Structure 1
Amino acid sequence: VTKGDGPKKQFSVEHIYQKKTQLEHILLRPDTYIGSVELVTQQMWVFDEGVGLNCRDVTFVPGLYKIFDEILVNAADNKQRDKNMSCIKVTIDVENNTISVWNNGKGIPVVEHKVEKVYVPALIFGQLLTSSNYDDNEKKVTGGRNGYGAKLCNIFSTKFTVETACREYKKLFKQTWTDNMGKAGEMKLKYFDGEDYTCVTFQPDLSKFKMKVLDKDIVALMSRRAYDIAGSTKDVKVFLNGQRLPVKGFRSYVDLYLKDKVDETGNALKVIHEEVNSRWEVCLTLSEKGFQQVSFVNSIATTKGGRHVDYVADQLVTKILDVVKKKNKNGVGVKPFQVKNHMWIFVNSLIENPTFDSQTKENMTLQAKNFGSTCKLSEKFIKGAVACGIVESILNWVKFKAQSQLNKKCSAVKHTKIKGVPKLDDANDAGSKNSLDCTLILTEGDSAKTLAVSGLGVVGRDKYGVFPLRGKMLNVREASHKQIMENAEINNIIKIVGLQYKKNYEDQESLKSLRYGKIMIMTDQDQDGSHIKGLLINFIHHNWPSLLKHNFLEEFITPIIKVSKNKEEISFYSIPEFEEWKSSTQNYNSWKIKYYKGLGTSTSKEAKEYFADMARHRIGFKYSGPEDDAAITLAFSKKKVEERKEWLTNFMEDRRQRKLHGLPEEYLYGKNTSCLTYNDFINKELVLFSNSDNERSIPSLVDGLKPGQRKVLFTCFKRNDKREVKVAQLAGSVAEMSSYHHGEASLMMTIINLAQNFVGSNNLNLLQPIGQFGTRLHGGKDSASPRYIFTMLSPLARLLFPPVDDNVLKFLYDDNQRVEPEWYIPIIPMVLINGAEGIGTGWSCKIPNFDIREVVNNIRRLMDGEEPLPMLPSYKNFKGTIDELGPNQYVISGEVSILDSTTIEITELPVRTWTQTYKEQVLEPMLNGTEKTPPLITDYKEYHTDTTVKFIVKMTEGKLAEANAVGLHKVFKLQTSLTCNSMVLFDHVGFLKKYDSPQDILREFFELRLRYYSLRKEWLVGMLGAESAKLSSQARFILEKIDGKIVIENKPKKELIQVLIQRGYESDPVKAWKESQNKEEEEEQEEGSDKESAAATGPDFNYLLNMPLWYLTKEKKDELCKQRDNKEKELENLKCKSASDLWKEDLAVFVEELDAVEAKQMQDEMAGCVGKPLKGKGGKPKVKKAQLPEVMPSTHGVRVVPQITAEMKAEAEKKTKRKIK
């Protein structure tokens, strides 16, 4: 309604509501039928004379293009009706505004329609809503569908002529319509006996399209459609304006699009082509302009694609994405649509009864399940697709995108003040004209920052900034793009220093953009500190190698040990340097020794002293050439795993040789050290971290323990608790007694792990779990807080590690304190009993558990000179089976039974498949189904305890039968593989060694243990001899005192000692023997011992002179004589025994106790005591059965035997061969 002062125009009801004929409606509303009749401009592929196929902006009327296309598609459709059709001729006469399309092949039946009383050609070309395509039950692969097609061309033409010859009816039909199908001309029929053909000639009504002439753009578009038909219609020659088009099939048609196209390297694009079947033909090449597609459905050009294109593209995207992910593990995440953006797909398809979202038929909407055919691309095509350049293009794009994202994190502008970096103490001159004189001190944590800030009081704040690092930096060489982008530490350092990714800092001028001219690393002087230094060097070297040439990096070293005497003080910056001083200094014990475990140990006063003597503490890193680059890459590149193994092996061998020859270890920070090459840092300092990382992660063959576990055991042996102790308290005790330098949380977990005894943990737990130490429900992660659970040594622990063996072990020293031995020597190889897992630097270790009694029996066989029997992995209380697939390859099977035709019962899961995890990851998806898989089971019930498993699973009879045919173990994921190809352990000399089988481990352990039984025997013989001599002397002394041969009353001690020497008494035999063994005695001296007098007088007779007065009694004298005789007898017995005899005795005692312990465990498991045990008849506690029948396996179930298929064995063999390569 328009607003105005004039009278409103009134329309009659008849004018407002009008009924139009179909023909009138089409002419009034053409966009509903043929698309827009207005000029539009859009990018399209066209054929230009002299240029060929090209994509450019085209101004055309979609409606005009559409009516031409309808006639052309009709001609192509005829190929589906008559396979003998071989030619289409298209003529576009611009001058006369006339277009004709001629095709041979079966013509339109020239016969009168019995119902409509009209000849068929006149009916289908001149009457609306008539078509041969209305029967949807008939599956057709033609372009026509809605019954409008050719009539629309007739309606929008001033003249429209149809000529068709039909040999079957011996007639030639011709008729012309004019005035937009308003007037039908006279129908002409002639006798005809030649080859069938059809020709449609029309003059489009250009006024309806607001045009005056067929312009260059519309002709170029129509010409391209002629090429489309030549490419998409098999075995048909296409002529355009009398010239045959040079297209022989779909593959040569695709080449028209690619004639001048090249990839990023300038090479012609590779085209992968496959004629999948008679209905599908696909080509693929690389696209540099986003996703492109050229596709046909039944000769219709679907310029907007559709589901047929998605159907093909999705198959390719999935396969290509898998390859990209493997090659781009650390790059920017790639999504399917991004893979698609690098693809150019050509699809020629025949689809039954296709549907479109409009009459213009640019987008095909039929669902794939209704296509009437499938297009399964072959492996050869997929391989070609992967190799045609698309993957490389995606990876290049990934690099570009990663770089763009990283560049956003950097600032190209140098700022004097920066915001948003917490804990930064910026240098006052940072970012100014003097910025190159500034040094950024990066410290290991906040406490080290405090130390540095204390030191800045000496050197000032203008030239020095301080920033604390939180823990260890990322290894950027192996980190993913996402990790680098999200790493606050790295982003902060870049921001503080003013670094820019990809910038080359070769010349001095380029350095002026930085806020700091140097980075100084200040870490603890331990191996973890070395690792932090290495990671920072790696970060700079990986991104800006040119900076290393400018001596950009420095380190600030602090003493690791200080010794002082009177007012003299000496600082040491490495342990070997201190050891060297110790060996060259007499009475070094008279010096006060202080260990500095971290920067936090130093006081503020000491910090000022360090910074005051900057020349001693500031060590510059100096670039010495390609060997530096190689060393850094060796230490941090994932590709250098084998070289790293060799590097560490050489280091261990060198260290071993130095020990053997009594040579000191190498050290870096001597008194005159002012700079250091990167090569020296990596090979002499960082290697120590890598080696200690292996020592912490990989156990020893001898005792099967890692250092943390050994420290726990050492503390428990030393405490010798007869009562339980809280885990948290024991952890504190371990840290104190064994100089444990890491976090107590990891120590508490070590204690918990040593005490766990559920299926899949330890076969023999050395500590007792008193409280909730975790169960198989959650794989031990359900343990209670260390504050609430208790532990103590297992009764088997000291039988496995006999105390007498401690005397022949080599104990270590830390902080001048005697701590655990380099390894204990148990009576059986514990590494086989409890297994081992660990990942170090260059090496990893995985050894399964083995049965205790099998190991014991094999040791006995070796003692008897027999070969050990092969052993399969074995886990205590595991009720499933373990079968061998190949060398060191096993399959672990759970237990499943069939209860009836719809019910199965699972009563055991594979080792280390935890009950809760299995429920959530296997049974839940089977119950509810996923996007890709329908539900398999209808219900499940749980009847587990903390030690047993029981699932009752319901499913339909059909599904159970199917699952049983495939194999229930396979369907329900009740089989897992176990591969033991990395049985790597430290041998007894501290050398990493790979073992091929558990028998190899057993043999090496056997030889060493037997040697140590001999050493034990030697030690015992000496010790018993000394003790016997001591008791003899004491008994003789008492007798001579009683007889009055020796008088001690009222005589000086010196005189007494002389009397004892004259009478032939020995100096303390036990003490003398121990000194001869070079063992440091740690026993507390008895009260009243007079060390000074013993030291002053030379020989030690305190063992006689310090005896209490009551030793003179007859009883004590007789007791000493008896003890002496017992010792002599014991000594004689010992001398008669071989090392094997001693071992057999230990094994017998151990196995007897093991039987008793396991019997008690079984009793505790089978019965639960109610309240306090009440004495019943016979004095036994009354117990109530705790096991309900529902938790036990059903008695009527039929056990399903696990299948070990040939396929599984073949796969295991493949793995072995891959490993050998």
Structure 2
Amino acid sequence: MAKTPDVFEYNESSIKSLDWREHIRLRPGMYIGKLGDGSAKDDGIYVLVKEVVDNCIDEHMMGYGKNIDITITDSKVTVRDYGRGIPLGKVVDVVSKINTGAKYDSGAFQKSVGLNGVGTKAVNALSNYFKVQAFRDGQTKLAEFKKGVLTADPKPGKSDEKNGTLVVFEPDNAMFKNYHFIPEYLDDLMWNYAFLNAGLVINYNGNKFFSKEGLLDLLRQKTEPEELRYPIIHFKGNDIEVALTHGNQYGEEYYSFVNGQNTTQGGTHLAAFREGVVKAVRDYYKKDFDAADIRASIIGAIAIRVQEPVFESQTKTKLGSISTSPEGGVTIKNFVGEFVSKELEIYLHKNPIIAEALLKRIMQSERERKEIAGIKKLANERAKKANLHNRKLRDCRFHLDEKHEKGQDSMIFITEGDSASGSITKSRNVEIQAVFSLRGKPLNCYGLTKKVVYENEEFNLLQHALNIEDGMDGLRYDKVIIATDADVDGMHIRLLLMTFFLQFFPDLVKAGHVFILETPLFRVRNKKETIYCYSEEEKQAAVKKLGSKPEITRFKGLGEISPDEFGKFIGENIRLQPVLLHKDSHLQKVLEFYMGKNTPNRQEFIIGNLRIELDKVENTKEEEIVEES
């Protein structure tokens, strides 16, 4: 009798060797984090852009090139710097051979972002088309690739172009399905580069991005002067720059950077910055204030430059704890903490008026905390009991705050009513997708104090489900997704939820964690094919494609979509619309306009826009009648 082969047998044939290109395409998460479709600011297509621009920034940091030209269309990215240019003999190697690059030579790049020499190789391997061209001392060399494979033998030639490097790439649409660049994310990226490199000019899609005063300019852009309790404090040292102020919003808001990299998940330097602020305040006022009262409503930014930083992943969003500064092996924690506490205390001694304003803000936070202490305790006890049998929450297995790779993709759907919750609950991925069910329309909390979060059972349970009571550090889900019907009631609930987040947890929105779930409005099908359409335009295209009078179904609510169908809309092809705050938006004015007392201006706005939407609806109805007849 023949022996049944053991599918789990481990022998020589089990060992596989992949070349650099195959490995990157097989395990892209190791190099660029998640793939995504561009709806989240840390999706892979933005990492590809960063990897290329980071190299230009590194050249600028070394003193070469004051301008970078960037053009980004729907599918193509073009980046041209005016640095030294890649040495012509290594043009192919630096974008196609792992462990090849100048970043290993600490003399060539002292404090660069990319230290492992992998970045442009990942961009090359994950692009349908990739071109690199170096210009150096009147000579040039160009190489072109397709998915990491060299398509033609590069030959050197003469050029009258300025020294530097040109990179053009088109992300692979087979890897990044349905991808699209969101302009606001790219604008933020370019502004961050400008703020961190004072004097650098970035020409992006015809717009100039330039900063004269670094992090001071950053906080000026992110705040409204009338909402600040005192002018922005700004100081710089060797390899460190800090800016901070206090506003009137709830929570803490930080922007942190290492060697020009936006560390969106913080890390050692940000923790040290927060501790340094607390120490300076306590030392100056000679009073042991609660750390939460000192940091309540703070808006801060910190940027440091270190040799060979240790990040917790290739995407470099969190600085590890073992990095050291160049100051003779001093830890990052001590380097940052001592600088911030010392400089801030000196500043407060020199500026007693600002010190007085800061004290008033701290005392106000202390009063507010004590006022809600009693109800907060009762509310937390109720939430603890509810969590044992919380019918509102259908949780998932892995969470963002846990050290597990799957937790990075976790999401929670906030739904209205049992029917919609039921469809999502039955079709969701239980490992990474949770569901929180609303009872009905939540309270309009605009203008109310945080006391309402504890008094309102639904808000309190939602706050505990997200684990954001004490800040974003404990956030349990990477994406908080509002999933409501696309009707008047659904839109109202959507507005009420966004008001809740913007009023009490604005940093959740500003950090890019809040999204709107897009579900199809129409299903167009014949006997051979079914197409789901998210707009009138997509419906018309589907009708044209299928021809001969296909069946058209209009989805009026999430509850009408069967669980089997719903699974297709929340899987790998999920469509999400991020909730974004435009850099020119005044948060309190926006909330007041939409959610405050009814005003003639708002009435005019609603009536004007309603007429447009009604016209669309009437046109749609007429077209459906014609199609049915």
Task: Report the Cα distance in structure 2 between the residues aligned to 1:300 and 1:409, rounded to whole angstroms.
Answer: 40
Q: Which residue of 2 aligns with 1:76?
A: 57
Q: Which residue of 1 aligns with 2:370?
A: 402
5+ unaligned residues in a row in structure 2: which ranges?
A: 329-334, 379-629
Paired amino acid for 2:131? T
Does the 8 A contact of 1:262 with 1:269 survive in 2? Answer: no
Paired amino acid for 1:359? Q
Q: Which residue of 2 aligns with 1:147?
A: 117
Task: Report the Cα distance in structure 1 between the residues aligned to 2:117 and 2:123, rounded to whole angstroms.
Answer: 12
Report SS of the residue matched to 1:353. Answer: coil
Shift of 1:35: 0.5
Q: Which residue of 2 aligns with 1:30?
A: 28
Task: Report the Cα distance in structure 1 between the residues aligned to 2:297 and 2:44, rounded to whole angstroms.
Answer: 33
Does the 8 A contact of 1:108 with 1:166 survive in 2? Answer: yes
Task: Report the Cα distance in structure 2 between the residues aligned to 1:24 and 1:99, rounded to whole angstroms.
Answer: 23
Question: In the alignment, which of 53, 72, 77 is matched to residue 92 of structure 1?
Answer: 72
Report SS of the residue matched to 2:254. Answer: strand
Task: Report the Cα distance in structure 1 between the residues aligned to 2:167 and 2:109, rounded to whole angstroms.
Answer: 26
Shift of 1:79: 1.3
Shift of 1:234: 2.6
Does the 8 A contact of 2:270 with 2:302 survive in 1? Answer: yes
Does the 8 A contact of 1:98 with 1:203 survive in 2? Answer: yes
Task: Report the Cα distance in structure 1 between the residues aligned to 2:155 and 2:356, rounded to whole angstroms.
Answer: 57
Paired amino acid for 1:177? F
Paired amino acid for 1:104? Y
Is 1:182 paired with 2:177?
no
> What do the CA deviations read for 1:500-533 (whole angstroms, capped 9, x no partner)?
xxxxxxxxxxxxxxxxxxxxxxxxxxxxxxxxxx
Question: In the alignment, which of 17, 20, 43 is matched to residue 19 of structure 1?
Answer: 17
Change (3 A) 1:181 1:31: same
Does the 8 A contact of 1:269 with 1:285 survive in 2? Answer: yes
Change (3 A) 1:334 1:259: closer
Does the 8 A contact of 1:101 with 1:201 survive in 2? Answer: yes
Does the 8 A contact of 1:129 with 1:146 survive in 2? Answer: yes
Does the 8 A contact of 1:30 with 1:36 survive in 2? Answer: yes
Task: Report the Cα distance in structure 2 between the residues aligned to 1:144 and 1:409, rounded to whole angstroms.
Answer: 47
Is 1:283 paired with 2:247?
no
Report SS of the residue matched to 2:103. Answer: coil
Task: Report the Cα distance in structure 2 between the residues aligned to 1:137 and 1:201, rounded to whole angstroms.
Answer: 28
Q: Which residue of 2 aligns with 1:133?
A: 103
Shift of 1:131: 2.0
Task: Report the Cα distance in structure 2 between the residues aligned to 1:99 and 1:317, rounded to whole angstroms.
Answer: 43
User: Pairwise mapping of residues 707-718 of structure 1 onto structure 2 (< 5 A)?
Assistant: none
User: Pairwise mapping of residues 584-663 of structure 1 onto structure 2 (< 5 A)?
Assistant: none
Change (3 A) 1:251 1:146: closer
Does the 8 A contact of 1:139 with 1:352 survive in 2? Answer: no
Question: In the alignment, which of 128, 141, 145 is matched to residue 173 of structure 1?
Answer: 141
Task: Report the Cα distance in structure 1 between the residues aligned to 2:377 and 2:121, rounded to whole angstroms.
Answer: 63
Shift of 1:321: 2.7
Task: Report the Cα distance in structure 1 between the residues aligned to 2:285 and 2:256, rounded to whole angstroms.
Answer: 26
Shift of 1:251: 4.2
Shift of 1:239: 0.9
Is 1:235 paired with 2:199?
yes
Change (3 A) 1:139 1:128: closer
Q: Which residue of 1 aligns with 2:186?
A: 222
Q: Give me the CA root mean square deviation.
A: 3.3
Change (3 A) 1:403 1:150: same
Is 1:316 paired with 2:277?
yes
Q: Which residue of 2 aligns with 1:837?
A: none
User: Pairwise mapping of residues 704-1103 of structure 1 onto structure 2 (< 5 A)?
Assistant: none
Task: Report the Cα distance in structure 1 between the residues aligned to 2:133 and 2:263, rounded to whole angstroms.
Answer: 29
Does the 8 A contact of 1:61 with 1:209 survive in 2? Answer: no
Shift of 1:318: 0.4
Task: Report the Cα distance in structure 2 between the residues aligned to 1:296 and 1:11, rounded to whole angstroms.
Answer: 46
Shift of 1:197: 1.7
User: Pairwise mapping of residues 395-794 of structure 1 onto structure 2 (< 5 A)?
Assistant: 395-405=363-373
Report SS of the residue matched to 2:372. Answer: helix
Does the 8 A contact of 2:31 with 2:314 survive in 1? Answer: yes
Shift of 1:171: 1.2
Does the 8 A contact of 2:312 with 2:318 survive in 1? Answer: yes
- TM-score by structure 1 length? 0.28
Is 1:64 paired with 2:45?
yes
Change (3 A) 1:210 1:359: same
Paired amino acid for 1:145? L
Shift of 1:269: 5.7
Q: Which residue of 2 aligns with 1:209?
A: 176
Q: Which residue of 2 aligns with 1:104?
A: 82
Does the 8 A contact of 2:66 with 2:201 survive in 1? Answer: yes
Paired amino acid for 1:157? S
Q: Which residue of 2 aligns with 1:1101?
A: none
Does the 8 A contact of 1:172 with 1:192 survive in 2? Answer: yes
Shift of 1:181: 0.5
Task: Report the Cα distance in structure 1 between the residues aligned to 2:250 and 2:139, rounded to whole angstroms.
Answer: 53
> What do the CA deviations read for 1:435-461 (whole angstroms, capped 9, x no partner)?
xxxxxxxxxxxxxxxxxxxxxxxxxxx
Does the 8 A contact of 1:230 with 1:238 survive in 2? Answer: yes
Q: Which residue of 2 aligns with 1:547?
A: none
Change (3 A) 1:352 1:403: same
The structure having more radius of gyration, on CA atoms, is 1
Q: How many residues align?
A: 360
Shift of 1:124: 0.5
Shift of 1:12: 8.3
> What do the CA deviations read for 1:12-32 (whole angstroms, capped 9, x no partner)?
878855433332222111111
Shift of 1:400: 1.7
Task: Report the Cα distance in structure 2 between the residues aligned to 1:184 and 1:141, rounded to whole angstroms.
Answer: 34
Does the 8 A contact of 1:89 with 1:242 survive in 2? Answer: no
> What do the CA deviations read for 1:1142-1195 (whole angstroms, capped 9, x no partner)?
xxxxxxxxxxxxxxxxxxxxxxxxxxxxxxxxxxxxxxxxxxxxxxxxxxxxxx
Task: Report the Cα distance in structure 1 between the residues aligned to 2:225 and 2:68, rounded to whole angstroms.
Answer: 30
> What do the CA deviations read for 1:394-433 (whole angstroms, capped 9, x no partner)?
21121122223367899xxxxxxxxxxxxxxxxxxxxxxx
Does the 8 A contact of 1:165 with 1:173 survive in 2? Answer: yes
Q: Which residue of 1 aligns with 2:314?
A: 359
Q: Which residue of 2 aligns with 1:449?
A: none
Task: Report the Cα distance in structure 1 between the residues aligned to 2:376 and 2:52, rounded to whole angstroms.
Answer: 56
Task: Report the Cα distance in structure 2 between the residues aligned to 1:164 and 1:151, rounded to whole angstroms.
Answer: 16
Q: Which residue of 1 aligns with 2:159?
A: 192
Report SS of the residue matched to 1:133. Answer: helix
Does the 8 A contact of 1:131 with 1:145 survive in 2? Answer: no
- TM-score by structure 2 length? 0.52
Change (3 A) 1:208 1:60: farther
Task: Report the Cα distance in structure 1 between the residues aligned to 2:293 and 2:41, rounded to whole angstroms.
Answer: 32
Shift of 1:159: 0.7
Q: Which residue of 2 aligns with 1:55?
A: none
Change (3 A) 1:252 1:242: farther
Shift of 1:368: 6.4
Paired amino acid for 1:25? H
Change (3 A) 1:194 1:63: closer
Task: Report the Cα distance in structure 1 between the residues aligned to 2:217 and 2:119, rounded to whole angstroms.
Answer: 26
Task: Report the Cα distance in structure 2 between the residues aligned to 1:90 and 1:243, rounded to whole angstroms.
Answer: 10
> What do the CA deviations read for 1:72-110 (whole angstroms, capped 9, x no partner)?
1111000122x242101111111xx11011111222222
Change (3 A) 1:393 1:351: same
Shift of 1:70: 0.7
Does the 8 A contact of 2:56 with 2:81 survive in 1? Answer: yes
5+ unaligned residues in a row in structure 1: which ranges?
A: 1-6, 41-57, 111-118, 327-332, 411-1221
Does the 8 A contact of 2:229 with 2:358 survive in 1? Answer: no
Task: Report the Cα distance in structure 2 between the residues aligned to 1:261 and 1:210, rounded to whole angstroms.
Answer: 42
Identity %: 22
Higher relative contact order, chain-length normalized (CA < 8 Å, sep 6+): 2
Does the 8 A contact of 2:79 with 2:168 survive in 1? Answer: yes
Shift of 1:308: 2.3
Does the 8 A contact of 2:35 with 2:44 survive in 1? Answer: yes
Task: Report the Cα distance in structure 2 between the residues aligned to 1:353 and 1:228, rounded to whole angstroms.
Answer: 21
